[in-house]
Chain A
Amino acid sequence: MFGRQKPQKCRIAPGIRGLCISGMIIAAMAATSHASSLDEQIERLNADITRHTASVHALEQKLLHPVNTRVAVFLSLANRQALELDSVELFVNEQPVTAHLYTENERSSLGQGGVHQLFIGNLADGRHTLKAVINARAANNRFVRREIVHDFRKQPGTLRLQMTLNAKAPDYEPEVSFVEWK
């Protein structure tokens, strides 16, 4: 029942249209320059806030974690293809101290050599036990949950424990090696 619909004729004369378009371009340029100046202001503010937050963070570190009792636990990956890390739960002397669920971005960073500072806290000198529960998907598409226990001795001064996660073919069983940095 319907024929092809006729195209509408141009309702705005070409000259006026040219003026309108020039006006729109000028308005768009003004908007762009305004937006870019706003972006510049935001960048400057971001620099100030980064500086400021770093100072607050440093003060916080100094007040909350005295050097002699400080313990920090780090996590890194030895082989980026072997394991897709899902989450890590950390216990010190059987007390849960932290748990972290990894995002895609964080996993990617760990795969490229990033090291995650999982925990920072204070411990008295002497013997302690660290337990890490690793949840991950191995390269053979198997979901694994493993508990790793590490005994260590805290001495005066800051102790840094680096956990390096690895899984070797063919069974991709997660292994964790510990390095203590004094």
Chain B
Amino acid sequence: MNGRMSLFLRNSIGVMTAMLAGVATPVANAMDNSLASGVVRFALDTGEASSVVGLAMKLEGESADYLQARLMLASGQHDEARAGFEGVFNGASHRGEAALALAEMAQEDGDLTGAEDWYQQARRTGYGEVVQKALLGLAQLARIQGKTDAAGQYLARMEDGYWAAVGYMNLAADFARDDLDSSRALVSLRVAMAMAAKDTDTSRSRALLDQLNLRAGYLALGSDDYDKAIDFLEKVSLESYHTPQALYLHGLALSSKGNHRAAMQSWHRAKKFPLAFPGVSDAWIGMGRGYDLSGYPGQAGESWLAANAAYEGERVTLGKLSERITAEGAYKALVQDARSDDIQWFLADNRTLTQPRMAYLLRFMEEPGAQVAVRRVARLDEMVATLDASKYNLEVFIQALEGFMASAGSGGAASQTVVLEQQQSDLESRLNGLVEQAATPAQVAELRQLKQSLAGAGRRMGALNQQVVQRPERLETVLDDAGALRDATKDLRYKTLSLREQAARELDALALAFVKKQTQRMTHALDKTEQQIAHLYEYLALENLGEGAQ
């Protein structure tokens, strides 16, 4: 990195740590650079950037500028971070990582051309995972611009694994949307399945494969290729978010083949899931249809009436959820209360898929806008918690310092120091006398060690005396610093709470719109079953009339 940029970065971090003047952690002064870099890297990777600001400022070596730029990004200083990453890219180390960070920042800002340029640079200068992420980024940009062939070419250069699988899945979605024929989309999905199978993270791989099989099953069903659809859908695991929809589609494929009994078995299993999940409300209607097509109109009527009751019940649940969102806010009603804090851990998985509120939360979080809104509130809550912890610590420090200053004024410490100095002097004279009398090498060695220990104690005593002289001024300075920080904490907390309120209002609006949409979905399902029941009664009435006429 060039000197000008390095200076700029150091100045920026200097501003950041201006309040640290005089209280910078001494750990940073002498810590080995490789150890310090590792500590900063760990803190940045785990979201604890604030604890290493002082240390990062003193870093040297090839990773220093890169880590400092990451620190800027983590602490919300985007312009400084951008300048820092550009400086790192013009240097010799971490060029690929810096280019990737710049590409992601450009993409977030909506600058697609800039993002593409930086992704190309990351691909050219990076190694391993950086290249994989750059290729995926380029494929995504090509997809956004409608260049599916170019996207495919980038994906073909990626190594097998999760990210390549995600890329092919997105490409398949484009093909499915654009093509009349599903073959290109199915080929992409099959490639994605092969890639996902190579993912070393088994739970992530399983979740993605479930989604891929569901999508492939849906496409095959749309092309009237029922056997292929059944084959894909049977590979979806029974403990996944996608299970109810897969079961519904599985039943639909079997029903289309004329196997209504087996279809009803699938729909019956789908019915066990909360109505919030995709496919469950359709499975309730499907049961009635299955009975009807199998020649049991009475059972069909009962099934549809049961479906009606379930939809009515769900509308009540949604009404209550809407009331709770209005009263308590969406974050509490949907997110916090859905957490399984009052349940044994071994039941947690089971509860996840059977709790209606968790089901609605999962469905709500499918929307990217909802994810952003929830993340905003969660982040602001974390900030409030950090500030509360700071406030508590500062109050304890201030109390302790005030008590310490009161006791320091009594002069007890000074008299103790005098006694200790006298003891030190006596011991030194006795030791010198013994050194002269030492006869054996063992005695000499032992006395040498004692002398070293005594010298150490003397040095510490000297340092302590210096500190005692400076102590009142230093304590006052620290007390002033602590007081200023406590006041700053209060201001920041007020600002954070105000923004949290604003973010929570936006989340509430999104959640209420979502609940309204779900209520409409239930109303629509209710209309459908009522229509089916009306058709059934009409059919039975006509049958009765026909029988009567004969």
- CB contacts (< 8 Å) of A62 on chain B: these are 23, 25, 478
Q: How far is the CA of A152 from the CA of B439 in the complex (A)?
A: 31
B42 an interface residue at 8 Å Cβ cutoff?
yes
The interface size bin for chain B is 35 or more
Q: Which residue of A lies closest to B80 (CB)?
A: A47
Looking at the assembled complex, report how far the CB atom of B305 sits from the nearest CB atom of chain A, in whole angstroms: 17
Cβ 8 A contact of A59, one of B26, B478, B506, B539:
B478
- CB contacts (< 8 Å) of A156 on chain B: these are 456, 459-460
Q: Mark A89-132, 1 if CB is under 8 A from B, else 0.
A: 00000000000000101101110111111001000010000000
Binds B, one of A6-14, A64-72, A166-174: A64-72
Q: How far is the CA of A124 from the CA of B186 in the complex (A)?
A: 69
Looking at the assembled complex, report how far the CB atom of A137 sits from the nearest CB atom of chain B, in whole angstroms: 13
- CB contacts (< 8 Å) of B16 on chain A: these are 50-51, 54
Determine if B41 and A115 form an interchain contact, defined as CB atoms under 8 angstroms apart: yes
B74 an interface residue at 8 Å Cβ cutoff?
yes
B407 an interface residue at 8 Å Cβ cutoff?
no
Determine if B76 and A46 form an interchain contact, defined as CB atoms under 8 angstroms apart: yes
Binds B, one of A17-25, A33-41, A142-150: A33-41
B53 an interface residue at 8 Å Cβ cutoff?
yes
Determine if A117 and B41 form an interchain contact, defined as CB atoms under 8 angstroms apart: no
Determine if B456 and A42 form an interchain contact, defined as CB atoms under 8 angstroms apart: no
B469 an interface residue at 8 Å Cβ cutoff?
no
Determine if B27 and A70 form an interchain contact, defined as CB atoms under 8 angstroms apart: yes
Number of A interface residues in the complex (CB < 8 A): 55
Q: Mark B440-475, 1 if CB is under 8 A from A, else 0.
A: 000000000000000010011001000000000000
Looking at the assembled complex, report how far the CB atom of B352 sits from the nearest CB atom of chain A, in whole angstroms: 19
Determine if B23 and A59 form an interchain contact, defined as CB atoms under 8 angstroms apart: yes
A49 an interface residue at 8 Å Cβ cutoff?
yes
Determine if A38 and B481 form an interchain contact, defined as CB atoms under 8 angstroms apart: no
Q: How far is the CA of A105 from the CA of B48 in the complex (A)?
A: 12
Determine if B376 and A42 form an interchain contact, defined as CB atoms under 8 angstroms apart: yes
Determine if B506 and A116 form an interchain contact, defined as CB atoms under 8 angstroms apart: no
Determine if A45 and B42 form an interchain contact, defined as CB atoms under 8 angstroms apart: no
- CB contacts (< 8 Å) of A108 on chain B: these are 45
- CB contacts (< 8 Å) of A50 on chain B: these are 16, 49-50, 53, 74-76
Determine if B26 and A67 form an interchain contact, defined as CB atoms under 8 angstroms apart: yes
Determine if B463 and A117 form an interchain contact, defined as CB atoms under 8 angstroms apart: no
Determine if B383 and A45 form an interchain contact, defined as CB atoms under 8 angstroms apart: yes
Determine if A51 and B53 form an interchain contact, defined as CB atoms under 8 angstroms apart: yes
Q: How far is the CA of A47 from the CA of B386 in the complex (A)?
A: 13
Q: Mark B1-29, 1 if CB is under 8 A from A, else 0.
A: 00000000000000011011001111100
B30 an interface residue at 8 Å Cβ cutoff?
yes
Determine if B394 and A56 form an interchain contact, defined as CB atoms under 8 angstroms apart: yes
- CB contacts (< 8 Å) of B35 on chain A: these are 74, 115, 160, 162, 181
Contacts of B279-323 to chain A: CB distance below 8 A = 292
Contacts of B343-390 to chain A: CB distance below 8 A = 372, 376, 379-380, 383, 386-387, 390
Q: Which residue of B lies closest to A60 (CB)?
A: B393
B144 an interface residue at 8 Å Cβ cutoff?
no
A87 an interface residue at 8 Å Cβ cutoff?
no
- CB contacts (< 8 Å) of B539 on chain A: these are 1
- Tell me whether A54 and B17 are in contact in the complex, defined as CB-CB below 8 angstroms, given that A45-B492, A68-B460 are known contacts: yes
Determine if B383 and A49 form an interchain contact, defined as CB atoms under 8 angstroms apart: yes
Looking at the assembled complex, report how far the CB atom of B127 sits from the nearest CB atom of chain A, in whole angstroms: 12
Q: How far is the CA of A135 from the CA of B372 in the complex (A)?
A: 36
- Tell me whether A114 and B41 are in contact in the complex, defined as CB-CB below 8 angstroms, given that A39-B376, A55-B19 are known contacts: yes
Q: How far is the CA of A103 from the CA of B48 in the complex (A)?
A: 14
Looking at the assembled complex, report how far the CB atom of A160 sits from the nearest CB atom of chain B, in whole angstroms: 6
Cβ 8 A contact of A63, one of B19, B51, B460, B478:
B478
Q: Which residue of A lies closest to B56 (CB)?
A: A54
- Tell me whether A58 and B397 are in contact in the complex, defined as CB-CB below 8 angstroms, given that A47-B75, A155-B456 are known contacts: no
Q: How far is the CA of A115 from the CA of B52 in the complex (A)?
A: 12
Determine if A43 and B27 form an interchain contact, defined as CB atoms under 8 angstroms apart: no
- CB contacts (< 8 Å) of A110 on chain B: these are 42
B488 an interface residue at 8 Å Cβ cutoff?
yes
Q: How far is the CA of A76 from the CA of B26 in the complex (A)?
A: 21
A61 an interface residue at 8 Å Cβ cutoff?
yes
B502 an interface residue at 8 Å Cβ cutoff?
yes
B535 an interface residue at 8 Å Cβ cutoff?
yes
Q: How far is the CA of A117 from the CA of B41 in the complex (A)?
A: 11
Q: Which residue of A lies closest to B502 (CB)?
A: A38
B482 an interface residue at 8 Å Cβ cutoff?
yes
Looking at the assembled complex, report how far the CB atom of B170 sits from the nearest CB atom of chain A, in whole angstroms: 22
Contacts of B382-441 to chain A: CB distance below 8 A = 383, 386-387, 390, 393-394, 397, 400-401
A151 an interface residue at 8 Å Cβ cutoff?
no
- Tell me whether A48 and B535 are in contact in the complex, defined as CB-CB below 8 angstroms, given that A56-B394, A59-B481, A115-B35 are known contacts: no
- CB contacts (< 8 Å) of B112 on chain A: these are none
Q: Considering residues B37, B39, B372, B401, which has the most beta carbons from chain A within 10 angstroms of its beta carbon?
A: B39
- CB contacts (< 8 Å) of B198 on chain A: these are none
- CB contacts (< 8 Å) of B372 on chain A: these are 35
B46 an interface residue at 8 Å Cβ cutoff?
yes
Determine if A52 and B488 form an interchain contact, defined as CB atoms under 8 angstroms apart: yes
Determine if B41 and A113 form an interchain contact, defined as CB atoms under 8 angstroms apart: yes
Looking at the assembled complex, report how far the CB atom of B96 sits from the nearest CB atom of chain A, in whole angstroms: 14
Contacts of B62-77 to chain A: CB distance below 8 A = 74-77
Partner-B contacts on A (CB < 8 A) = 1-2, 35, 38-39, 41-63, 67-68, 70, 72, 74, 76, 103, 105-106, 108-110, 112-117, 120, 125, 155-156, 158, 160, 162, 181-182
Of the A-B pairs whose beta carbons lie under 8 Å apart in the complex, a sample of 29, sorted by A's number, is A38-B503, A42-B76, A42-B379, A44-B76, A47-B77, A49-B496, A50-B76, A52-B489, A53-B386, A55-B481, A56-B390, A56-B485, A57-B54, A58-B54, A59-B485, A61-B25, A62-B25, A62-B478, A63-B478, A70-B26, A74-B35, A106-B42, A106-B45, A106-B46, A113-B41, A115-B41, A116-B42, A117-B39, A158-B30
Known: A45-B495, A50-B76, A55-B17. 7 other contacts (CB 8 A): A46-B379, A48-B495, A56-B393, A63-B397, A105-B46, A115-B39, A160-B35
The 10 closest A-B pairs by CB, nearest first: A115-B38, A114-B42, A109-B45, A54-B53, A53-B50, A50-B75, A47-B76, A43-B76, A46-B76, A55-B19
